[in-house]
Each structure stands twice: as C-alpha cells, then as structure tokens.
Amino acid sequence: AQTVTQSQPEMSVQEAETVTLSCTYDTSESDYYLFWYKQPPSRQMILVIRQEAYKQQNATENRFSVNFQKAAKSFSLKISDSQLGDAAMYFCAYRSLYNNNDMRFGAGTRLTVKP
C-alpha cells in the first residue's frame, strides 16, 4: 500500500517570509495524483494545490507552489509571502490513478506564522 510521510511535525515562519513543507511518498505506480490540504482551527480540510504525476511542470496557485521530484518521490509545498491566515495543519495526500477511491494522507505539519 502507498504511504505518505511528512517528516516535520511542526514548522514556523515569520510573516512575509517563505517556508517549505516536506512530503515524501512510497509507491510502485507510475501515474497518480498528489495534493496538499490545509486544515485551519475550524478543522475543515481545504484543498491548497494538486499535481498530476504525469505532468513535469510544478503546480502553482498564487503564493503556493510545489516542488515535485518524481524520481525521488518527493512533493514539497512552498508558501511565499506567508500570512497570518496561513497558520494551520497541512496534509500531503496521495491518490492512485488505478484505485482512485483510496486517498492516503500524511500525518500533517503544523505551521505557525509569527507576526
């Protein structure tokens, strides 16, 4: 089964600075999807960004971008110009192309933004 590892339980960043959250995954599949979700104190899971494994170009969404290294099975999230509202738990997730009803999540990284 696929596994997702987030090695940083907690991270902190100064407001307006840049922070990178790490994620690695284990799979034998060649095609799949990767996601970053944000979970603020309200607990609701919010999609931040997604990446299709067949695409070599890294996904970007405004201040959020990813560094997808397929060979290394790495999928890190970069948050630029960090804002106080970015403070949350961030979860990396993997979805198989072949069994796309089974999403695997990492344990999460708690991001603190300091004013």
Partner 1 sequence: NAGVTQTPKFRVLKTGQSMTLLCAQDMNHEYMYWYRQDPGMGLRLIHYSVGEGTTAKGEVPDGYNVSRLKKQNFLLGLESAAPSQTSVYFCASSWRGDFTDTQYFGPGTRLTVL
Contact residues toward partner 1 (CB under 8 A) are 4, 9, 33, 35, 37, 42-47, 50, 52, 91, 93, 95, 100-108
In the bound complex, what is the minimum distance in angstroms from residue 10's beta carbon to partner 1? 12
Q: CB-wise, 47 or 84, nearer to partner 1?
A: 47
In the bound complex, what is the minimum distance in angstroms from residue 110's beta carbon to partner 1? 11
Q: How far apart are CA 98 and CA 32, in angstroms?
A: 8
Q: How far apart are CA 63 and CA 98, in angstroms?
A: 31
In the bound complex, what is the minimum distance in angstroms from residue 107's beta carbon to partner 1? 5
CA angle centred on 23, ends 38 and 101, rounded to 5°: 65
| Residue 59 one-letter amino acid | A
Q: CB-wise, 15 or 31, nearer to partner 1?
A: 31
Say whether 104 sits in a helix, a strand or coil.
strand
Q: CB-wise, 37 or 82, nearer to partner 1?
A: 37
Q: CB-wise, 65 or 108, nearer to partner 1?
A: 108
Say whether 100 sits in a helix, a strand or coil.
coil
Distances (CA, A) of 82 to 5, 20, 107, 111: 23, 11, 22, 10
In the bound complex, what is the minimum distance in angstroms from residue 63's beta carbon to partner 1? 19
